């Protein structure tokens, strides 16, 4: 937060005061670091899309293979699952992101109106926030004056400090929907590949399982590295989920085989 506030100050005196405040609150002796930008929804949509596509279509094709491994049946089920799931994920992401964005925009509009109607109250509120974070009353006063003198900066700051929102990082519903659609399709295609020829032999089932295992481990490992939670653990977790769902649906399909005869 201090770096964000410092960027809007234009006087040497204010910068010196803020540097002093920072020095008392932070320790710069450690190594520098960077953060990944996880806002906007596209990354989340892609992550869930690949995982859902892999798990759901693996379960579908294995269940169909166990129940009725007839010519073209598994392929048809897998293709329908891929298309239906992709459109469903894309549409759901589009709607959810649009509703979320509209909700954020509504809150920003409310905050903007409050700044116009009650600037004194909003100024005191911002000063109180800074004092609560350990900034001196004098510096809090100067920071608030600098911020409130710029309407756009005032709105951005109040939105971030009070609502946890950043006006320019609400995300694109269309981009998130496209990411979700494509990611689900990619994930769903992997276990379907051996059945595209129309067969559903034990060899095809085995190949599908092997491809799904490799994909699950790869996706899990990448996700683990992405969020710094440990690639091996994340890979094994992803594999476990795929293995359990695939085994359960294949077993159910095999049990139902006689009743579908």
Query: Is 60 exceeded by the pLDDT of residue 193?
Result: yes
Q: Please give the pLDDT value at position 133.
A: 80
Q: Please give the pLDDT value at position 84.
A: 94
E-strand ranges in the chain read none
pLDDT: is 39 or 165 the higher one? 165
Q: Please give the pLDDT value at position 183.
A: 92
Q: Please give the pLDDT value at position 12.
A: 41
pLDDT: is 258 or 94 the higher one? 94
pLDDT tens across 102-120, in order?
888 888 888 788 888 888 8
What's the CA gap between 55 and 209, in Å, rounded? 11
Percent of the chain with pLDDT over 70: 79
pLDDT tens across 136-166, in order?
888 888 888 888 888 888 888 877 777 776 6
State CA 68 to chain mean position distance.
37
Q: Please give the pLDDT value at position 45.
A: 65
Name the pTM for this structure: 0.68
Helix orientation angle between 119-132 and 151-158, rounded to the nearest 10 degrees: 50
Q: Please give the pLDDT value at position 35.
A: 52
What's the CA gap between 85 and 73, in Å, rounded? 18
Q: Please give the pLDDT value at position 14.
A: 42
What's the CA gap between 243 and 85, in Å, rounded? 20
DSSP tag of 25:
H
pLDDT: is 207 or 125 the higher one? 207
Name every residue whose Cβ is closer than 8 Å to that of residue 247 and which is 6 or more positions away in sequence: none
pLDDT: is 173 or 32 the higher one? 173
């Amino acid at each position: 937060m201090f770096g964000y506030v410092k960027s809007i100050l234009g006087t040497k005196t204010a910068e010196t005061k803020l540097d002093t405040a920072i020095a008392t609150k932070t320790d710069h002796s450690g190594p520098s670091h960077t953060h990944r930008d996880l806002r906007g929804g596209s990354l989340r949509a892609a992550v869930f899309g690949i995982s859902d596509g892999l798990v759901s279509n693996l379960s579908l094709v294995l269940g169909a293979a166990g129940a009725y491994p007839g010519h073209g049946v598994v392929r048809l089920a897998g293709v329908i699952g891929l298309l239906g799931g992709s459109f469903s994920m894309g549409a759901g992401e589009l709607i959810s992101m649009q509703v979320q964005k509209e909700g954020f925009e509504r809150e920003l509009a409310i905050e903007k109106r409050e700044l116009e109607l009650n600037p004194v109250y909003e100024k005191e509120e911002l000063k109180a926030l800074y004092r609560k974070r350990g900034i001196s009353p004098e510096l809090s006063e100067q920071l608030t004056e600098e911020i409130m003198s710029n309407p756009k900066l005032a709105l951005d700051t109040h939105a971030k400090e009070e609502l946890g929102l950043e006006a320019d990082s609400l995300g694109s519903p269309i981009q998130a929907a496209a990411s979700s659609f494509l990611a689900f399709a990619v994930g769903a295609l992997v276990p379907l590949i051996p059945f595209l020829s129309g067969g559903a032999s034990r060899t095809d089932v085995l190949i599908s399982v092997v491809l799904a295992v490799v994909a699950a481990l790869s996706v899990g490992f990448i996700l683990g590295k992405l969020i710094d939670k440990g690639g091996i653990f994340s890979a094994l977790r992803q594999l476990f989920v795929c293995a359990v769902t695939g085994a359960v649906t294949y077993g159910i399909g095999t049990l139902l085989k006689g009743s579908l005869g």
